[in-house]
A and B are shown apart, each in its own frame.
Chain A
Amino acid sequence: MNANTCFIVSGEGEPVVCLLGNSAAALMDVLTGDFKVLAMPPDDMIMEALMAAAKARGLETFSLVVHGADATLALQLAAAYPQVVQALVLLSPLALRADATAHDAALSEQLPNVKAQVLALFGTRDKAAPPSMGGHYKRALANCHLMYVYDAEDTASERLEAVSEVVLDFLKRRDAFLVNNKDGRHHA
């Protein structure tokens, strides 16, 4: 892997590293409206390569948006570099098994070290990462917000408007995203 060429950079703002496949291209497009998005193909990604690539781009800190099985890598990264990884967005994550143990044996021990704020999204129709898994992430991670996306099977590629709205809000405001800041007036 070449740390200088594996990133596709677009947008301006706080840096957000996306490990997302083509199915999430529309979501990444939305993110570029508010953030500097550094997109890295998820295949064969390893922690050291990602950190080297980030360093090559001069990133001191960044947030991570990942999908499916890449949740393992993202959580390991957040555990190992708590000063670097500011926030995590896990789209339909596949890091934990149904019995709440991690697919990667080492991750189980690392999870308590994840201090970053996490937003974990699950589609209510998802069979691979079913909503019943959501509670496991909430209990395993110190600062995890659990979000169910109604009528979605895969949160990386479906219900773009709903997913991007909450992901953007979380990345911008972190914990404060719990507080509604929309104008509720019907008429001026």
Chain B
Amino acid sequence: MKSALFSTCKYHGPSVGAGWPVTGRVYSHEHAMDSMQQSLDQFRIADEVGFDWVTVAEHHFAPFSLTPNPLIMAGALTQVVKRAKIALLGSDIPILNPVRVAEEMAMLDTMSGGRVVAGMLRGTANEYVTYNINPAESRGRFEEALLLIKMAWTETEPFGWQGRYYEYRTISLWPRPVQKPHPKIYMSGSSPESAEFAAKNRIGLGFAVTNVPLAKKALTYFRAQASEDGWEPEPDDVIYRLGVHCAESDDQALEDLNEATKGAPKVSLTMSNRALEGAIASTGYYGRDMESQRQRLMPADLKTRIENGQILLGSPDTIVKQIENIKRELDCGVLDFTVAHQMGAKTNRSIELLGEKVVPRIANW
């Protein structure tokens, strides 16, 4: 089992309220610079202590994450992370220019010597407001953009694209990806529509902001669909992302987390503006499984989150036991450990403990 380290690049300076979008009236650029540096340090440590991947993601207009363009962060990582793969999990391709995404990922693959993992996501519901894209078009845009990006990576002759959402008269990528035929692609897999598209196009699935029972149900459907399409996904075709904080003891880990999360928002980005989320839901954004898709975004208490495999908390031994259960239930090949909160030296120590005492023990699972 591969281990990935995801640092959200959370802003840890002063901020006004929650919700989305979040006002910048008390924004501190000093804290923002420090937050970014902390994330870079976390990624560097993860690389040094043996994580297989480091992960960046895209979110907008909130202190939850300071990487609205994760590819820029990944560009910095090509110079900081010397060994691990750099996973873009991912770019929200329906709200972006797909040719630009193809170009930037090809640049990163070249700069990193072929270490890019290409996650392509629809993004959280609120992201559709960011660049004024109709959420009802999310899935159509996603599917077309993904195939266009693959074509841009693999077609060596200049070509045009006459799509539904995208139209280009001529495309010819320079630079081109190092990995052939192209970097491994993952997409989010929580909905049945996603599972069907991934199975049809032989794409790996990533699960985030969910829990083990829901991911297991979605994976069962994905594997059945893949079987119908004539292939069997490998464990490496499945990424499961979850929160983590590791300390020398279980009590210390709990104390650290309680201290760090005092006063922190308890809801996800999507659900932090319920009126907006409701309006987006009404466009059909969630697809035919809307209720369970929205349910997985609802907040839960810490005990429930641990029981459902949404967060790993404790000593290295405790965390290994928690991972055993996840591996048994999901047979996923990649665990994407999200640092649960930015706690400075404590977070860095958590990453070190994971690298020294957890990553090696699960590597051969």
Q: Chain A CB within 10 Å — which of B151, B159, B160, B162 has the most?
A: B162
| A124→B162 CA distance, assembly (Å) | 10
Shortest Cβ gap from A157 to chain B (Å) = 15
Contact code string A123-166 (vs B, CB < 8 Å = 1, else 0)? 01000000100110011000001111111000000010011011
CB contacts (< 8 Å) of B170 on chain A: these are 145, 178
Q: Please count the residue pairs between chain A and chain B whose beta carbons lie under 8 angstroms apart in the complex.
A: 56
Min Cβ gap A140→B in Å is 11
Q: Decide if B159 touches A148 in the complex (CB within 8 Å).
A: yes
- Among B156, B162, B164, contact of A148 (Cβ-Cβ < 8 Å): B162
- Contact assessment for A147 and B155 in the assembled complex, using a CB-CB cutoff below 8 Å: no
Decide yes or no whether B344 CB sits under 8 A from chain A.
Answer: no
Say whether A180 faces chain B, with CB atoms less than 8 Å apart.
yes
The reply to whether B162 and A166 form a contact with Cβ atoms under 8 Å apart is yes
Residues of B within 8 A of A131 (CB): 151, 155
Number of interface residues of A (CB under 8 A): 23
Q: Which residue of A lies closest to B161 (CB)?
A: A148
Q: Is there a chain A Cβ closer than 8 Å to B22's Cβ?
A: no
Q: For B169, what are the chain A residues with a Cβ–Cβ distance below 8 Å?
A: 145, 177-180
Q: C-beta contact mask, A174-188 vs B, less than 8 Å → 1, else 0? A: 000111100000000
Q: State which of A135, A163, A177, A179 has its C-beta within 8 Å of the C-beta of B156.
A: A135
Residues of A within 8 A of B164 (CB): 150-151, 162
Cβ contacts under 8 Å, A179 to chain B? 169
In the assembled complex, B148 has its CB within 8 A of some CB on chain A: yes
Closest to A163 in B: B162
Contacts of B159 in A (CB 8 A): 134, 138, 146-148
In the assembled complex, which residues on chain B have CB atoms less than 8 Å from the CB atom of A146? 157-160
Give bound CA distance, A151 to B161, whole Å.
11
Known pairs A124-B147, A131-B151, A178-B170; A147 contacts B160 (CB<8 A): yes
A176 CA / B158 CA spacing, docked (Å): 16
Question: A150 to B157, Cβ gap below 8 A?
Answer: no
Whether B163 is near chain A, meaning CB under 8 Å from some CB there, is: yes
Are the CB atoms of A150 and B144 closer together than 8 Å?
yes
Least distance between A123 CB and chain B CB atoms (Å)? 10
Q: How far is the CA of A151 from the CA of B162 in the complex (A)?
A: 9
Inter-subunit contact B156/A150 (CB<8 Å):
no
B160 touches A150 (CB 8 A): no
CA distance A147 to B171 in the complex (A): 10
| Chain B positions within 8 Å of A162 at CB level | 162-164
Q: Is the CB of B144 within 8 A of A151?
A: yes
Least Cβ distance of B356 to chain A in Å?
48
Residues from chain A with a CB closer than 8 A to the CB of B151 are: 124, 131, 148
Contact A150 B161, CB 8 Å, known A178-B170, A180-B169? yes
Find chain B residues with CB under 8 A from A149 CB.
162
A135 near B155: Cβ-Cβ < 8 Å: yes
Closest to A139 in B: B157
Given A135-B157, A150-B144, A150-B147, 13 more A-B residue pairs with CB atoms under 8 Å apart are A138-B158, A145-B160, A146-B158, A147-B162, A148-B151, A148-B161, A150-B148, A150-B161, A162-B163, A163-B162, A178-B169, A178-B170, A179-B169
Interface residues of B (CB under 8 A from A): 144, 147-148, 151, 155-164, 166, 169-170
Pick 26 A–B contacts, CB within 8 A, sort by A: A121-B162, A124-B147, A124-B151, A131-B151, A134-B157, A135-B156, A135-B157, A145-B170, A146-B157, A146-B159, A146-B160, A147-B160, A148-B151, A148-B161, A149-B162, A150-B144, A150-B147, A150-B148, A151-B164, A162-B162, A162-B163, A162-B164, A163-B162, A166-B160, A178-B170, A180-B169
